[in-house]
Each structure stands twice: as C-alpha cells, then as structure tokens.
Copies of this chain bind each other. A is one copy, B any other.
Amino acid sequence: MSEITRVALDAMGGDNAPREMVKGAVEAVRKRKDIKVLLTGKEDVIRKELSAYTYPEEQIEIVNATEVIETAEPPVKAIRGKKDSSIVVAMKMVKKGEADAFVSAGSSGAVLVGGQVLVGRIKGVERPPLAPLIPTLKGVSLLIDCGANVDARPSHLVQFAKMGSIYMESVMGKKNPTVGIVNIGAEEEKGNALVKETFPLLKECPDINFIGSVEARDIPYGAADVIVCEAFAGNIILKLYEGVAGALLKKVKKGMLSSLRSKIGALLVKPALKGVLKDFDTSEYGGAPLLGLNGLVVKTHGSSKSKEVCNSIIQCVAFKEQKINEKIKEAIQQETLEEKKEVE
C-alpha cells in the first residue's frame, strides 16, 4: 500500500462551511484509502456534521480550533491575533510536518499571509504564487500568479515559470509543458516594462519550454500550458473568465426560454450542454495551490461545494507522491548556483 497523505482541511472556511467542507472530506476518504483528513475547527460543530455520514472512521480526525477567521478581517492581524483559528492551527500542523497539505475555502488573504508567515517559503523562493488551473478548449492551463502580491519583479516571474512547469509536468502529467507570458501582442518588443524585462530572461531559461508571448484572446483556446503573469493581471484573467462565462450562459439560458419553440429545443440540448459546461467549470479542477512553500497549501473557491473540496483533497496526493517540493527546491537551488557562477 502506498503512503498516507495527511490533509488538514479548514472545516470553518468558505460560504458553505462547515457542511460542504465536512461532506467533501467524507467523499474524499470514501474514494481513496491513501488519504487521511484532519478537520480543523470547532469540534462539536464538526462532530455533529460528521454524524450524518458513514465513512472509514480511521481516515478522518477532528483537530479542535475554537476561533474562525472571517473573510472581511485584515489578514495579517487575523493570522497574528487568532492563534486558535482553524487556519492557524492547520498551518502550524503543516509547518511541523503533522500534515502534508492544507486545504481552505476561507479568507484568501489569511491563507496567503498564513502560508508565507506560518508554513514559510522554500529557501530561495522569492514569492509564492497562487496558481489555479483554468479550463481551455484543449484541457487546462496553469495560470500563475493570481495571488495577493502585486507589482512583481522579473525574477519573480521567472520562478513562477519554473514552478509552474514542474507542477504541470508532475501533477498534471503534461510532458515538457509550454510556457507563455501574457502580453498585449505577439512581438517581443511589445508589452509593459515588466514583460519587456522578463521576456529575455524566460528565453534564456534552460529548464522551461518557453514559447513567447500569449495574447489574452488565445488563453481560452489553450495557447500555453503554463500562463505566466503578474498577480494583478492574473487576477483579472481568472475573474473575467468566470464573469464572461457566467454572463454569457445567463444570456443563453434567457434566450432559450424566450419562446415555446426554444423551450422545447432547450430540453433536447440540455443533456449535451451539461457535459460542455462541466468541462468549462473551474470547480472541476480542485483548488489553486500556493507554490513554493514548505508544505502544500491549497486555496479553493469561497463558494466551494463538497465536490471541489473533495477534488482539492485528492489533488494533494499527487503533489506529495510526485515530490513537487523537492523538485522546486532543486530548480531554485540550480538557479542560485548559476547566479554564483556568473558572479565568480
């Protein structure tokens, strides 16, 4: 039997906590024998939720945490002040090696700050990026960075490209993944100051498959496996993806219900469309990993339901089995060695 992956799950975070979090944990352990879920949060509340299910009991453990960090709280203050919150307790377990990974649908800010402050960065990693998978016509792409740290430097983007390539290759099984940088034109001389400075660095980078600039228009068509950008741009891309798809489908639905004829048609196309929309549904792909930390931290949507929670938990197994962090350490160490050589 393979090794057990221990995943701490924030039972109190997200719009649908604790119900959907606990349900997601149960679904995960029902599916996989090699997972143990450590539910952090208010013990009595979690126990009550758990009592509704039958599941392999040795695979779920409750770790009591009496406080909850709310989404509106300033992240730094919350992480410092609420030592007994579900987020802080879980992150400390990852730090101590009592858990391999942490999954939360709670406050993005608190998860990002906690990841850096409590779990800590891998030596040499300048900035840990948040890297969600986004659906494309070819499958999925990794959008890196969508985190809270904006105004990145070129060296950050180069590390994002390396870490993203490792993730796509090892976790998603994409051999020699292509890397593109988000730009406003295909030519090398185009772009803002950051992109212009980063472009030649990525071009010279030996351990990635850099294919040049990617225009936003081509991202949904699967222009590159790893889409590198600064967090402000990444956030716009991620949220507009959801926004345009959501708005357009709303319009399509309204159109279909506009006449009797189209209503009948809608009934007939519904099953076929369901599959299509499932492919373009970001929750199918689990949460976004925060890469470059001493342990895995995964942020799922605030609106996550059990399916996404379950997918996010299962995602942690591949991350551990594929030794992603060891690979990131190697890549970053390699970088430092090269820099030293250049200086000498």
Query: Which A residues lie at the B interface, using CB under 8 A?
Result: 136-137, 148, 150-151, 182, 184, 191-193, 195, 215-221, 231-233, 235-252, 254-256, 258-259, 261-262, 264-273, 275-276, 279-280
Contact = CB atoms under 8 A, between A and B. Distances in A.
Contact of A240 (B241, B259, B279): B241
Most buried by B among A151, A191, A238, A244: A244
The 5 closest A-B pairs by CB, nearest first: A265-B268, A220-B247, A255-B276, A265-B269, A262-B272
B247 A248 contact: no
11 contacts: A137-B251, A182-B236, A216-B236, A216-B238, A219-B240, A236-B240, A248-B280, A251-B276, A255-B272, A262-B268, A265-B272
Q: Chain A: interface secondary structure? A: helix
Contact of A216 (B235, B276, B280): B235
A247 B137 contact: yes
Given A248-B220, A251-B279, A255-B272, A150 B191 contact: yes
A198 to B, nearest CB: 13
Contacts of A261: 268, 271-272
Given A233-B236, A239-B215, A246-B220, A192 B265 contact: no
Contacts of A276: 251-252, 254-255
